[in-house]
Structures are given as C-alpha cells and as structure tokens.
Amino acid sequence: MPPRTALKRQVNRLPPERRISDIMAAAKEVFVEKGYNDALITDIALRAGVVEGSIYRFFANKRELLVKVVEHWFEEMLRDDAEQFAAVRGSWNQIRFIVYTHLASIHRDPALSRLALQEIRPAPDYRGTHLFELNRAYTQRLVDVVKAGIAAGELRPDTSPSLVRDLVFGCIEHRTWTFLRGEGDYDPAETAEAITNLVYRGVALGSEPTSPMESVVARLETATARLEAAAGIIPAKSSPALSR
Amino acid sequence: MPPRTALKRQVNRLPPERRISDIMAAAKEVFVEKGYNDALITDIALRAGVVEGSIYRFFANKRELLVKVVEHWFEEMLRDDAEQFAAVRGSWNQIRFIVYTHLASIHRDPALSRLALQEIRPAPDYRGTHLFELNRAYTQRLVDVVKAGIAAGELRPDTSPSLVRDLVFGCIEHRTWTFLRGEGDYDPAETAEAITNLVYRGVALGSEPTSPMESVVARLETATARLEAAAGIIPAKSSPALSR
Amino acid sequence: MPPRTALKRQVNRLPPERRISDIMAAAKEVFVEKGYNDALITDIALRAGVVEGSIYRFFANKRELLVKVVEHWFEEMLRDDAEQFAAVRGSWNQIRFIVYTHLASIHRDPALSRLALQEIRPAPDYRGTHLFELNRAYTQRLVDVVKAGIAAGELRPDTSPSLVRDLVFGCIEHRTWTFLRGEGDYDPAETAEAITNLVYRGVALGSEPTSPMESVVARLETATARLEAAAGIIPAKSSPALSR
Amino acid sequence: MPPRTALKRQVNRLPPERRISDIMAAAKEVFVEKGYNDALITDIALRAGVVEGSIYRFFANKRELLVKVVEHWFEEMLRDDAEQFAAVRGSWNQIRFIVYTHLASIHRDPALSRLALQEIRPAPDYRGTHLFELNRAYTQRLVDVVKAGIAAGELRPDTSPSLVRDLVFGCIEHRTWTFLRGEGDYDPAETAEAITNLVYRGVALGSEPTSPMESVVARLETATARLEAAAGIIPAKSSPALSR
DNA sequence: GATGAATGAGGATTCATTCAT
DNA sequence: AATGAATGAATCCTCATTCAT
C-alpha cells in the first residue's frame, strides 16, 4: 500500500484531565458571555481547541456540560469559604459571614449565578444533581448555625432553622435580582450587615444587642479614624470582620 | 406571494372582547399544561376555536400572549385581595395577610406562578412590562405597612422597608421552589404564620436590652464619648446612633 | 322596533371616482415608500381613509392596484409630453427630446420607475397590461421618428427602427440602474445629449449635413478660426478638431 | 430544545467539493425550473441527495445559494469566452464577438439570465457581490475595446466608452426581454450583426458630420475661454445648451 | 355600499448530536 | 482517541383576500 500523504488530520493527543479542563474553561467563558441557549457547542469546541465530537466524549450533552461548569465554580467557592468560616465565632458573625459570602459571590460572578438560579435550579432534574447536594451543604451551614445558636440558648428555641435558611437565601436572591438582570448594583458588605441584623433580631432571644452594639462600634471606629487622621496616620486595610 | 385561493371560507364573527378572552383562556390552559416553550400556537388556536392568524390580530407574538395571560391572572388576584386587605388592622395582621395571600396564590396556581417567575421575570424587558408595575404595586403594600408601623411607633425606626419586602417575598419564593418543581407541598396558613412571626420579631420594637450586654454598651458609649471629646471634633450630619 | 343606538359604523359615502383617486394616491405613496412587497393593503387603506374591503371593490387585487397606479403615472407623463413633442422638428432633436424626457422622468420618479421596470415588466402577464400598450405608444414615437427620418432620406434606409428603439431605451435603462438602486446620480440633459449623438451617428446617412445646417457650421468654423487667431495662442496637445 | 432523539442516522460522507457541487447542481435545476421564490430548499436538498441542514453548512441562506449558482454559471461563461476573445482582431469584430456571445448566452440559458437580471441585480446588496465584480470584468472588455479603438485612431476620440457599454448591454437586454419572458425568439447571430453595425457606425471615425456642430461649438468655447483667460475674465456658469 | 374581523396556507432555518472514517 | 461532516426535527408568523353583517 502506498504511503498516504494524509496531512489533513491533525490529531492532538492530550491527557484527558487537561482536555476536560480546557473544555470546561471554554464552556464557562461561552456560557457566561452568551447564556445557555445562545452558547454554541461549536464555539466552545473552537475555544477549547477541540472538535465538537470530543466534547461528547466527556460530557453527555450540552446541559451536563453546563451543570459541570457551574458545579466546578460552586465547589471552588465552597472550598475557599470553608476554611475561613471555620474560624468565625458567634451566631451573628457566622450569619453575617454566610450572608456576606453569598452576596459577594453573586456580585463577583453574576453570570454564573444566573445560570445556577435560572437555568439549572428550575429544571425538573435539579434534585439528583451534584449541584443540588453542594447547595444543600452550602445552605446547611446556616441551618447548623441556627441549631447551634438555639442549643446555646442564644437563639429562640421555637425558631425553624430551615425557615431561617429560606429567609436568608430568599432575601439575598430577591435583593440581587435587579443586579443579575444588569440593571442595578449593591454593596455586599452593607447589604450583608442589614440582612443579618434584620434576621438576627428575628431569631435572637429577648432583646437583641446587635444594633446598639453595632452603632457604638461604628462610632468608635469613626472617632478612631478621625483621631488617626488628625495624627496623620493612614489606617491599614482593616480586617474584613471590621471593614464595614 | 398571494396565497393559493381557498375555495370556501367559513367566517365566524364574534365581538372582539369575546375572541380575546377565548384566546386568553385557551392560551392559559396550554401554557399551564405545557409550559411556554412546548406550548404550540396551533394548539392554542384550536382550543380557542380560531385560526392561528386570528391570535396575531390581538397579540403581537407568542411571548406577548404569555405576558398578557399572566398579567390577567395577576390582576384578578390583586383585585380580589385589595378589598379584604383594606379591612385588616395592625402590622402583624397585615403582614400575615400579605404573606398568606401570596403563599395561597402560589399554592393555587403553581404553573402560572412558575411562568411568572421563570419565564417572564428573568427576561431583559421585564421592567417596562405591565406585570412589573403590577408586581410593584403588589409588593408595595408590604412596604407601606412597614412604613406605617414605623410611623406609629410599633416598628423599629431603623427598619428598611424595602429590605423587609425582599425578606418576605424572597423567603416565600425560596420556600415554595420545591413545590413549584412539583416535588413537595406546604401549608399556606402554617407557613404564613411562621414567616410572619420571624419577620415581625425582626422589625418590631421590643423591650430588649439584656442586662449584661447593656452594661457593655454603656461602657463603650462612655469610652466613645471620651474619644470623641479627645478628638475635639464635632460629629458631622446626624448623631451616629441614627445615622444608619 | 326600538331605534338602534348604533354609533359604531361610520359610513362615509363618497363618489366612486373620488374614492378611487384617494385610494390610488395613497397606494402610490405607500408603493413608493415601501416597494411592492412591503406595501401593506392595511396601510394603503388607512391613508386613503377607507377599509381594506373597499379597496377590493375597485381593484381586483394588490397587483392590479399597483399596475393602475403606475399606469396612471405613465399616462400623465405621456399627456404632458405629447404636446411638446409635437412641436419638435428634426430627427436629432426629436430623438434628443425622447431620450431627455425619459431620463428626466426616471430622475424625477425613480421609485415609480423601479416599480414599472422591476415589478410589472418582468411579470408574465405584462403583455395584456394597459401599461404595455402605453409603453408601446411611448416607444413607438421613436420608431416613428426613425421611420420618418428614413423616408426623408436623412437616416440610413437599412436602419431597423425597432433596434434603435431597443438601443435607446436599453441604454437609458442601463445607464440609470445605479441611480435607481440609490447609489449614484446623473444629469439628464448631459446624458441625453451624449446618447443622442451616439445613436444619431449610428443611423444618420453618411455625409449628411443638411444644407442650412451646413452653412451655419461653416460660418461658425470661420468665426472660430478667427477667434483662435485673434487669441494668438497655439492650441495645446492636439488640434481642436480632435480634442473632444 | 434538544431534538427528539432520532433512532438511526445514516451518514453518507463525501468530499466537501463534491457535496457543494451536488448541491449547486441541484439548486441550479430547481431555480431554473421554479424561479427563486418558488424554489424550495427541501426540493433542492432532495435532488442533491442531502438533508436541508447540509445545505446550510455550505451556504448561509437561500439567497446566497442563488448568488453562488449564478456566479458559477457566469464564471464558466467568462472562462470559455476569454480564450476565444483573445484571438479576435479589429474593433468591429471584437464588438461583434462580445455582442454575439452575450446574446448567445442569454439564448442558451434564459432562466439563469433572468435570475441574474431580475433577482440579483436589483437587490440593494448587488454591489459587494462577486457577481458584480464578474460582470464588471465582463463588460469591461467592451470598454477596453473602445479605448483601444480610440487609441488606434479607428474610433472617434470623443466616444465615451462607458456609454458604449451601456448602449450595447442595454440594447441586448431590451432586445431579449420578450424572449426572457418566454414570449418570443431571436437569432443571436443576426441580432449581433445588426447591433454591432448600428453601434459601430456611432463610434467609428467616419465621414459623418453630426458631431461637426458639436466639435465646432467646443472649439468656440475653448477659444473663447482662452481669450477670456487672456483677458483675465472668469467665465460665468454657461447655459446648459452650451455647457458641453 | 361599506365594514373589518376572520381566514389559512406555507417554508426557511437552527444547532445539538451522531457516527463513519 | 479524535475528527467534523452530516443529520433532521420542529414551528412561528404574515398578510392578501373574503364575506357575514
């Protein structure tokens, strides 16, 4: 048989993990730019440097690719948070941390958030998704905080932890809709503080001390800042916990 | 190109309002059964007893038809509620009424609720929709209740009414997602009670200060005052206690 | 029978000719603005102050309406021209008149010209149209001019009048295409002169000069020579006789 | 929405050029038979032995397919002619060749000619088409012939080559309209001879005195202008009758 | 004679997915 | 394993024309 002068096919063999991460990176880009429906497999393949068929070797279909991309994003977020969260003490601080983190994530990645909220969650197969599990774990932290707070006698014993969860995440979602539609903006820290206070007051035993405490601290900070300014001192970037 | 001449045409003349309501009724049925995407204009026309073309005499396109159907449903709901709501007295009762009504509506018409929340609200042209206006009016009632409560000295003066609105409607939405996906159920009355209590506690003026905390606050207050005095600076605008 | 309070129907009775001319005026507007395909019967009816159905009382269909509109325009043009044309003497002048008139018409009403050339003429039923007859009459004038010129011994006897007709009108059409597409412009007078000269030369008898004309030329020649001499200037490049 | 999964797919792989030429051949057939509007993509696909979708892999839309088909036809014509044309000597012969060739092409492929003249040329995007370029090249040959004739002293130096181009191609078009509408016939050779003679006479340097008037007037104008220039007079905008 | 609501046929186009090479 | 050409289902919308009132 004569040697084939087939220069046509450029076969580019790469380790599977690399292929997968290339595809997912490209898919993330395209989904973020175009949204799910307007994202084209062809486009994703092009940017990933593979052909369409190759995508289907690793992902059953377009939707699975979307889900995997969002799951990946979510997992990274969780991993980053988990460590810090473990260090936070006190119900109020923990709630605030969760609220702030969530608001900040949405603020950082609005497009991915939209995909998660609008494309994946409403789907009938959402339960059964790994993302569903991840999200459960994510929101469960709040439930645990509430349970712990109740056990510690800090929070009202008749509080429904799951209702608090819905209250918090629902509120955040509602508050960020306008932003997700690209029509407004919000300040994560400020919003987190307000939501936390409101919710905390709803669940705290007796006469919650959050807000007085808060305003006093604020005044202290202000006064301190002024003194520092008067003394010509530039304050260092304060720790997030105090940064408000 | 001129249409091939039809042999015989049966014209069935009806008053426009009737036609419109027939079409909307049929559309409502089909949208509810199939969802927006899988709803066929042909199917709607068939059930309404008209030809496809007739639908386009009254509605610019499929989406407008959807929006009109949902708006109609929403308007009816508002009309029914308004009267009853006017008779409710007291912040807690009013909040509960609003929460309950909303929960009950979703429970009664989950499919229409889904269409509103999933199909219409995320669209980029949502603002500008009449539905957007209706919804504003709908949620505004809660904002007004909060404002009135504050004015009456019943609710905390530092409450953000719009945040309460997001808290309430966001919570409801989150709580009903599972149901809307057809995977669970809830009791509107019970849920309304729980949400109302939680939220009300967050906004109501209470008898608060826990004693230990109070002394801390007092001490901090003193320190702050001294610092401020030391700084010799007159605080700007308003007193810090009210500034947030 | 109780008197009907039917205020609904505003019947507006007008003499048929008035109706027809209103409709045609409106149709002309719309066809000119939108072209045939994009012109809507509804739009025409609206501008004419009638309903769609009324249009069909006077015109069998949209195309007939178009044809009637163009015919009307054409008839007016013919009427205006006929008188003037009758006064023109001499083959060259007559040809120039026809060419100029045609170029000027296209320049004045490019949209209507397009409709005639692009919409009506290519149609399979063009023959049989009154417009076809009108156009025949219109172009026939040129044929007659040529025949008369031949008979008078001014034009070559082997000239095909119909070929001259195609030459002239084809040339005009080709020359004006760019303008009709809205991409260029031309000067009717100048273009008419150029076309006429070119064509005339093709059909005129050899050593022609009509005697009276010749003497004029001779005299002009003399005058020119004198003027040039008077100017004492050596003509540039080539001899003036060849310079154009 | 994902397409309902087809059970079995028969894939028939072919080299792209073959596919493209199959599709174009089928499209040519259908366009010729039915005209652009009445041609169905389905029909074309069927005859080409592909599915509708495959057509859209190679052609952006129906119109592009049409344009490509006509361009292909035109290119072949040009290629065939070019060789022969190169061998023709003498202005008259060259003009006749071009005229004859054009008449013969139309006579051979009236349907394709119609598509070019009626569907493609009037479109607003005609310029920018490759066909436009091809046609320019095609007609340019005549322009070049005229220029060469002038340079060789065979044709009148005051001839406008582009006007001759419009004269020739316009005349041909006009002459063939009836045939293109399927209502008459013509003999290419005979018609070519007649047109060529008529045109040639119009441009050949002969004894004809039409232009004498014109050239004399031109000389007068030139001389006058020089005299005026010598006298330092800026000539007023001359009357149109003299402006040439 | 006027009205104008109702008719209804008709086809290009997209793009996720497959599978022969 | 990679390629990428081929598949093919699926549907909204327009608007000239009609005809019951």
- Domains in chain C, please, with CATH? 9-59 (1.10.10.60), 61-209 (1.10.357.10)
Collapsed DSSP state (helix, strand, coil) of residue C15: coil
- Give the model's pLDDT for residue C220: 60
CB-strand contact A53/F, under 7 Å: yes
Question: HEC profile for chain A?
Answer: CCCCCCCCCCCCCCCHHHHHHHHHHHHHHHHHHHHHHHCCHHHHHHHHCCCHHHHHHHCCCHHHHHHHHHHHHHHHHHHHHHHHHHHCCCHHHHHHHHHHHHHHHHHHCHHHHHHHHHHHCCCCCCECEHHHHHHHHHHHHHHHHHHHHHHCCCECCCCCHHHHHHHHHHHHHHHHHHHHCCCCCCCHHHHHHHHHHHHHHHHECCCCCHHHHHHHHHHHHHHHHHHHHHCCCCCCCCCHHHCC
Of A199, A209, A219, the CB nearest to B202: A199
Q: Which of B236, B235, B202 is nearest to B91 (CA)?
A: B202
Judge whether B76 and B172 are in contact, CB under 8 Å.
no
What does the alpha-carbon distance between residue D37 and residue C229 come to, in Å, rounded to a whole number? 68
The Cα of B18 is separated from the nearest Cα of chain C by a number of Å equal to 17
Which stretches does DSSP call E strand in C17-110? none
Torsion angle of the four alpha carbons C5, C9, C10, C12, in this order, in degrees rounded to the nearest 10: -120
Judge whether A146 and A164 are in contact, CB under 8 Å.
yes
Of D1, D37, D38, the CB nearest to B37: D1
The Cα of B70 is separated from the nearest Cα of chain C by a number of Å equal to 31
**Residue A114 CB-density burial (10 A; 0-12 exposed, 13-18 middle, 19+ buried):** buried
Closest CA-bearing residue to C1' of F14: B53
CB-strand contact D222/E, under 7 Å: no
Judge whether D86 and D144 are in contact, CB under 8 Å.
no
- Give the model's pLDDT for residue C212: 41
Q: What is the pLDDT along chain D (244 residues), one digit of tens a residue?
A: 344 344 456 777 787 788 899 999 999 999 999 999 889 999 999 999 999 999 999 999 999 999 999 999 999 988 888 888 999 988 999 999 999 999 999 999 999 999 999 899 988 889 888 999 999 999 999 999 999 999 998 999 999 999 999 999 999 999 999 999 888 899 999 999 999 999 999 998 864 433 445 555 555 655 655 565 565 554 433 333 332 2
Interchain CB distance below 8 Å, D174 and C170 = yes
Higher pLDDT, A41 or C3: A41
Consecutive H or E run containing D192: helix D188-203
- Give the model's pLDDT for residue B218: 52
D50 CA: nearest nucleotide by C1'? F6
| C-alpha pair distances (Å), A154 with each of A87, A243, B206, C36, D162 | 19, 25, 17, 79, 96
Q: Which residues contact C56 (CB under 8 A, 6 or more apart)?
A: none
Judge whether A203 and A149 are in contact, CB under 8 Å.
yes
**Beta bridge pairs of residue B219:** none
φ/ψ of D171, rounded to 5, equals: -60, -45
A165 has a pLDDT exceeding 90: yes
Q: Which of B206-210, C11-15, C166-170 is most confident?
A: C166-170
Closest CA-bearing residue to C1' of F15: C40
The Cα of D83 is separated from the nearest Cα of chain B by a number of Å equal to 43
Chain B 127-156 residues in 7 Å CB range of strand F: none
Give the angle A101-A104-A109 at the CA atoms, nearest 5°. Answer: 125
- Give the model's pLDDT for residue C166: 96
Give the angle A226-A228-A230 at the CA atoms, nearest 5°. Answer: 70
What does the alpha-carbon distance between residue C43 and residue C41 come to, in Å, rounded to a whole number? 5
Over the stretch A170-227, which tens digit does the pLDDT of each residue have?
Answer: 999 999 999 998 889 999 999 999 999 999 999 988 654 444 455 555 556 556 555 6
Give the DSSP letter string of D99-152.
Answer: HHHHHHHHHH-HHHHHIIIIIITTSTT-BTBHHHHHHHHHHHHHHHHHHHHHHT
Contacting residues of B for A138, CB less than 8 Å apart: none
C29 touches chain D (CB under 8 A): no
Tally: H helices and E strands in chain B: 11, 0
**Beta bridge pairs of residue B127:** B129
Tokens (6 digits) for D133:
């370029």
| C-alpha pair distances (Å), B151 with each of A217, B137, B155, B168 | 27, 21, 8, 20
Sign of the torsion angle spanned by Cα atoms C137, C138, C139, C143:
positive
Tokens (6 digits) for A143:
């439930």
Over the stretch A117-132, which tens digit does the pLDDT of each residue have?
Answer: 999 998 888 988 899 9
- Give the model's pLDDT for residue B229: 58
Nucleotides of strand F within 7 Å of the protein's CB atoms: 1-21
Across C105-120, average pLDDT: 94
φ/ψ of B208, rounded to 5, equals: -20, -100
- Give the model's pLDDT for residue D36: 92
Chain B 40-59 residues in 7 Å CB range of strand F: 40-42, 52-53, 56-57
Exposure on the CB side of residue B189, measured as CA atoms within 13 A:
0
CB-strand contact B2/E, under 7 Å: no
What does the alpha-carbon distance between residue D51 and residue D18 come to, in Å, rounded to a whole number? 15
What does the alpha-carbon distance between residue C176 and residue B189 come to, in Å, rounded to a whole number? 79
Exposure on the CB side of residue A111, measured as CA atoms within 13 A:
13
- Give the model's pLDDT for residue A10: 55
What does the alpha-carbon distance between residue D244 and residue D160 come to, in Å, rounded to a whole number? 13
Collapsed DSSP state (helix, strand, coil) of residue D225: helix
Tokens (6 digits) for D177:
């309209």
Judge whether D144 and C176 are in contact, CB under 8 Å.
no
Over the stretch A129-156, which tens digit does the pLDDT of each residue have?
Answer: 899 999 999 999 999 999 999 999 899 9
Straight-line distance from CA C44 to C1' F15, in Å?
Answer: 13
Contacting residues of B for A198, CB less than 8 Å apart: 159-160, 163-164, 167, 202-203
Q: Which of A84, A99, A85 is nearest to A198 (CA)?
A: A99
Over the stretch A27-70, which tens digit does the pLDDT of each residue have?
Answer: 999 999 999 999 999 999 999 999 999 999 999 999 999 999 99
C42 touches chain B (CB under 8 A): no
Interchain CB distance below 8 Å, C173 and D170 = yes
Judge whether A65 and A28 are in contact, CB under 8 Å.
no
Q: Which of C130, C128, C79 is nearest to C105 (CA)?
A: C79
Contact exists between C and D (3 or more beta carbon pairs < 8 Å): yes
What does the alpha-carbon distance between residue C142 and residue C145 come to, in Å, rounded to a whole number? 5
- Give the model's pLDDT for residue A125: 85
**Beta bridge pairs of residue A155:** A204
Interchain CB distance below 8 Å, B173 and A173 = yes
Chain D 50-89 residues in 7 Å CB range of strand E: 52-53, 56-57, 61-62
Contacting residues of A for B164, CB less than 8 Å apart: 198
Contacting residues of C for D205, CB less than 8 Å apart: none
Straight-line distance from CA D124 to C1' F17, in Å?
Answer: 30
What does the alpha-carbon distance between residue D157 and residue D205 come to, in Å, rounded to a whole number? 8
CB-CB neighbours of B186 under 10 Å? 15
Give the angle C128-C131-C134 at the CA atoms, nearest 5°. Answer: 110
What does the alpha-carbon distance between residue A169 and residue B219 come to, in Å, rounded to a whole number? 36
Interchain CB distance below 8 Å, C201 and D220 = no
Torsion angle of the four alpha carbons C20, C25, C30, C32, in this order, in degrees rounded to the nearest 10: 130
Q: Which residues contact B34 (CB under 8 A, 6 or more apart)?
A: B40, B43
D40 CA: nearest nucleotide by C1'? E11
Across C32-57, average pLDDT: 93
Question: HEC profile for A140-178?
Answer: HHHHHHHHHHHHCCCECCCCCHHHHHHHHHHHHHHHHHH
- Give the model's pLDDT for residue B212: 41
Over the stretch A222-244, which tens digit does the pLDDT of each residue have?
Answer: 565 556 556 555 443 333 333 33
Across A80-90, average pLDDT: 88
At how many degrees (to 10) do helices C16-38 and C41-48 cross?
150
Residue ranges in chain B modelled with pLDDT below 70? 1-9, 206-244
B217 touches chain A (CB under 8 A): yes
C213 has a pLDDT exceeding 70: no
What global pTM score does this model have? 0.78
CB-strand contact D14/E, under 7 Å: no
**Nearest residue of D to residue C188, measured between CA atoms:** D240
Which stretches does DSSP call E strand in chain B? none
Largest CA distance in chain C: 105
Collapsed DSSP state (helix, strand, coil) of residue C204: strand
- Give the model's pLDDT for residue D81: 87
Chain B 54-93 residues in 7 Å CB range of strand E: 54, 56-57
Tokens (6 digits) for C67:
């044809």
Higher pLDDT, B27 or C238: B27
Judge whether A92 and A149 are in contact, CB under 8 Å.
no
Interchain CB distance below 8 Å, C172 and D172 = no
- Give the model's pLDDT for residue D212: 47
- Give the model's pLDDT for residue D13: 77
Straight-line distance from CA D236 to C1' F13, in Å?
Answer: 61
Closest CA-bearing residue to C1' of F10: D3
Q: Which of B142, B149, B159 is nearest to B98 (CA)?
A: B142
Judge whether A202 and B201 are in contact, CB under 8 Å.
yes
